Amino acid sequence: MAKQILIKPVITEKATKLADKRNTYAFVVNRDSNKIEIKSAVEKMFGVGVESVSTAVMPGKPKSRSTKTAIVRGTKSAYKKAYVTLTPGDRIDLFGSEEQ
């Protein structure tokens, strides 16, 4: 594939609650990818069925830090996030742990 679609999973408290309650997982994805490409990439990578995909472009944020000589200012890059809802009964194990 010419471009990588799924960059990394989002592992936050909110994303973990979504996965437990609604079977919805969050991923940082390529800015140029669309919902159809994201759906096929998740199905191919994890071997699960995807019910729906929602996307959101998170805006860049201004950041600054102080050093001994100056204050450095810049911006954190914008990125695209996808919320993928799986079909009932399917799960993704993002942590690689075995269930006992």
Task: Give the per-residue pLDDT at 3.
Answer: 67
| pLDDT range class, residue 10, cuts 50, 70, 90 | very high
Global confidence as pTM: 0.84
61 phi/psi in degrees, rounded to 5:
-120, 140
Is the predicted pLDDT of residue 100 greater than 50, yes or no?
no
| pLDDT range class, residue 98, cuts 50, 70, 90 | low
| pLDDT range class, residue 2, cuts 50, 70, 90 | very low
Task: Give the per-residue pLDDT at 57.
Answer: 97
Task: Give the per-residue pLDDT at 51.
Answer: 96
- Residue that has been written with the tokens 């990588």 in this structure: 4
List the CATH code of the domain at 6-86: 3.30.70.330
For the residues 19-26, what does the mean pLDDT come to? 94
Mind listing the pLDDT tens digit for each residue in 37-68? 999 999 999 999 999 999 999 999 999 999 89
Whole-number Cα distances in Å, 33 to 19, 30, 90, 92: 22, 5, 24, 21
Q: Which of 92, 97, 71 is nearest to 26 (CA)?
A: 92
